[in-house]
Amino acid sequence: MSDVADRVKKIVVEHLSVEESKVTDNASFIDDLGADSLDTVELVMAFEEEFGIEIPDDAAENIQTFGDAVKFISEAS
């Protein structure tokens, strides 16, 4: 697993208090990991800080799964 994926996973596990094994590529933050819409906003904020990038609102809306997040961040950073 890439370094980006590890760091993203750590943030997701901490923020949503879920088990690491549940954070799979296809895991949806809202449907599978128990996030509400505000949690997803906070996750994006945390990703921005961790990776020193800016994630525009329209891109953030498309980040719905762990895999989406890793893909977007890998391309942006």
Partner 1 sequence: MFDLTGKCALITGASGGIGGEIARSLHAAGATVGLSGTRTEPLEALAAELGERTFVLPCNLGDFAAVEALPKDAAKAMGAVDILVNNAGITRDNLFMRMSDDEWQSVIDVNLTSTFKLCKGVLRGMMKARWGRIVNISSVVGATGNPGQGNYAAAKAGMVGMSKSLAYEVASRGITVNAVAPGFITTAMTDKLSDDQKAAILTQVPAGRMGEPEEIAAAVLYLSSPEAAYVTGTTLHVNGGMAML
Q: For partner 1, which is the closer residue by CB, 31 or 36?
A: 36
Per-residue contact string for residues 17-46; x = within reach of partner 1 by CB under 8 A:
---------------------x--xx--x-
Query: Minimum distance from CB of 67 to partner 1 (Å)?
Result: 25
Query: Minimum distance from CB of 38 to partner 1 (Å)?
Result: 6
C-alpha 59 chain-centroid distance: 12
**Region for residue 66 given its phi and psi (left: phi exceeds 0; alpha: psi -120 to 50; beta: otherwise):** alpha
Query: Minimum distance from CB of 46 to partner 1 (Å)?
Result: 9
Angle at CA 21, nearest 5°, toward 33 and 1?
110
Residue 63 is classified by DSSP as -
Active site residues: 36
